[in-house]
Amino acid sequence: MDSVNWGLIMPLLILQALLAIIGLISLAKVEHTRGPKWLWLIILIFGNLLGSIVYFTVGRKDI
């Protein structure tokens, strides 16, 4: 337990980034969001896992 194994932590960070990227792609394509788009942009970029989940569940009006 001396050194942190970054090889195991990297995938976690990559997956979180992937989630945010999927969110950003969908945000670019979607016509209507609940609330302003720029707010969701900030939430997706800085909101980590929870931000992405909130965006996907309540942010998108039409699918």
Partner 1 sequence: MKSVWVFYQKEMLELLRSYKLLWIPVVFIILGIMQPLTTYYMPEILKASGNVPPGLLEGYVIPGAATVMAQALGQYGSMGMLVLALATMNSLSGERYSGTVEMVLVRPLTPATLVIAKWAALLTLLMIALGLGAIAAGYYIEQLIGSLSWSTVLAAASIYGLWLLCAVSMTLLFSAFLRAPVAAFLGLLLTAGLALAHSLLPSWLDWTPAALPDLSAQVLLQAGSVSLVGPCLSAGILILICMGGASLLIRRNILPN
Partner 2 sequence: MPLLQVTNLRKSYGKHTSVDGISFEIEQGRCVALLGPNGAGKTTTLRMLAGLLQPTSGAISFDGSHPGMDYRRALGYLPQAPAFYGWMSGMEYVTFAAKLSGSGSKEAASMAATAIERVGLTQDARRRIGGYSGGMKQRLGLAQALVHRPRLLLLDEPVSALDPLGRREVMELLRDIREETTVLFSTHVLHDAEEICDDIILMNRGLIAEQGALSQLRSKYSLPVIRMRTEKNDGALKWLETLASKPFIVEARLSGDGAVFNVSDVEVARRSILQEAASLDIPLLQFEAGSSTLEDLFMKVVGA
Site residues for partner 2 per CB under 8 A: 31, 62-63
Triad 55, 60, 63: Cα angle to 5°? 130
- Please choose which of partner 1, partner 2, none residue 56 contacts, taking the beta carbon within 5 to 8 angstroms, the exact cut-off set by kind: partner 1
Residue 4 within binding range of partner 1, rule CB under 8 A: yes
- Give residues with Cβ within 8 angstroms of 53, minimum separation 6: none
Applying CB under 8 A, among 6, 8, 31, 36 the residue interacting with partner 1 is 8
* Three-state DSSP state, 3: coil
> Shortest distance, CB of residue 27 to partner 2, whole angstroms?
15
Query: CA torsion angle for 45, 30, 58, 35 (degrees, to 10)?
Result: 80
Looking at the Cβ atoms of 13 and 42, the one nearer to partner 1 is: 13
